Structure 1
Amino acid sequence: MSRLVRGRLFDRNPLRRASDRAETVVLIMLVVVFLMSAPLVALASGAWAHASAQRSELAQAASWHKVTAVTLVAPGPPALGSGNVASEAKAHWIAPDGTSVTGDLPVPYGTEVGATFRVWVTPDGHLVQQPMSDSQVANLTVAAEAGGVVAVAIVVALAGVLTRWLFNKRRMTEWDADWQATGPRWTTHA
């Protein structure tokens, strides 16, 4: 780290080329761009994700309903090696639109026939997970904010890598031209 900083100082070192100083200025500007844009991008991506997740939460809460399902068949044992203690059993429930639905319901192993469970369903009776909670909305917001900052960091890092590559390419071209001019004076042809 100290070597990186030492190579970026604005001093009167005669070996430090103008391209070295220009590269330092560009890298400093990229750090400033990151420090200024990361909070703004975090706020914008967080606000967008929060609004989107909140719309989903409200839509799910408005359209999904909790109904009572009754098991019709005892569940079989869980699949070997799955690590689950839950199985699936045939169950019956009435959809919010009044249709009778029979389907597979995840239940704990050992559930008796006739056991009742409260489940979330769509208006036409398809099983769904429970609607999003406020904490899930908050988690999605934080994840989007972090993702925005990471995206800015990647863009700035790629810009830094590209800058360094372009300056190195230019330095190698200059070095090659200098060597072509200096090399013949050092070598003697006998």
Structure 2
Amino acid sequence: MSDGTCAKRRLWRWHSNPLRRRDDIVEAWIVLAVWAVILVGGAVVGLVTAQAAAEAFTRQRAERRPVPAVLLADVPASASASGGTLALARISWTTPDGTTHTDRTLVDTGQKAGAEVTVWLDGRGALVTEPPSTTETAIEAGVLGVAAAVGLAGAAVGAGALARWRLDRRRIDQWGREWDLVGPLWGHRTG
């Protein structure tokens, strides 16, 4: 047999074989479908998720705007119970229409009352977190895309493993029934 023919037989699981059962063909198709879902579906899901995340982060950058605010009270250097560098503080800011607002937000510790801090507002004027930078957007979108692809791959492998397990159970039951028919024909049993 030539190398090409041998390789083709190894890769092609559906070739003629007198011992091949219908379940063997079904199993081969299941394996092929799982790999197709992992490769094609994973790529599509990953790209779509990454694109959607990038668009959402870009929209956040477009909608959110920085506004100068003033601290209304001192923020002690050890204000955070966890020992972090941020603490909740009361601030005041003025919107472009001249309205003054006050609220609480996280600021760096160790600042004095009257210090200017930058806060971020959404389109409705509510305090929000700073939007991610373009680099952070690319990284986060990539991570979310990979996570979506891995999630789909895990689901496909799990579904394929379950289907193959059920086929194995069915084959074992068939072999048991066939043995019950053929076993007595083999002659005297011991035991």
Q: Which residue number in structure 1 is paired with residue 112 of structure 2?
A: 112
Tell me whether 1:54 sits opposite 2:58 in the alignment: yes
Q: Which residue number in structure 1 is paired with residue 48 of structure 2?
A: 44
Tell me whether 1:30 sits opposite 2:39 in the alignment: no
How many matched pairs? 177
Q: Which amino acid aligns with 2:33?
A: L
Q: CA deviation at 1:29?
A: 1.2
CA distances 1:99-128 after superposition (whole Å, capped 9, x unpaired):
212222433333222212122224665322
CA distances 1:134-186 after superposition (whole Å, capped 9, x unpaired):
22332243134213321331232123212212211221221221232245455
Q: Which residue number in structure 1 is paired with residue 69 of structure 2?
A: 69
Task: Output the TM-score relative to the length of structure 2.
Answer: 0.70
Task: Output the TM-score relative to the length of structure 1.
Answer: 0.70
1:13-162 counterparts in 2 under 5 A?
18=21, 21-22=24-25, 25-30=28-33, 32-33=35-36, 34-58=38-62, 60=63, 64-76=64-76, 77-80=78-81, 82-122=82-122, 125-162=125-162
Tell me whether 1:177 sits opposite 2:177 in the alignment: yes
Contact 1:65 1:122 in 2 (8 A): yes
Contact 2:80 2:86 in 1 (8 A): no
Q: Is the partner of 1:165 in helix, strand or coil?
A: helix
The 1:51–1:186 alpha-carbon spacing in structure 2 relative to 1, beyond 3 Å, is farther
Note the aligned Cα RMSD (angstroms).
3.5
Contact 1:67 1:121 in 2 (8 A): yes
Percent of counterpart pairs with the same letter? 28
* Partner Cα separation in structure 2 for residue 135 and residue 91 of structure 1: 29
Contact 1:97 1:124 in 2 (8 A): no
Contact 2:23 2:171 in 1 (8 A): no
The 1:163–1:106 alpha-carbon spacing in structure 2 relative to 1, beyond 3 Å, is closer
Query: Structure 1 stretches of 5 or more lacking a match?
Result: 1-5
* Partner Cα separation in structure 1 for residue 116 and residue 59 of structure 2: 31
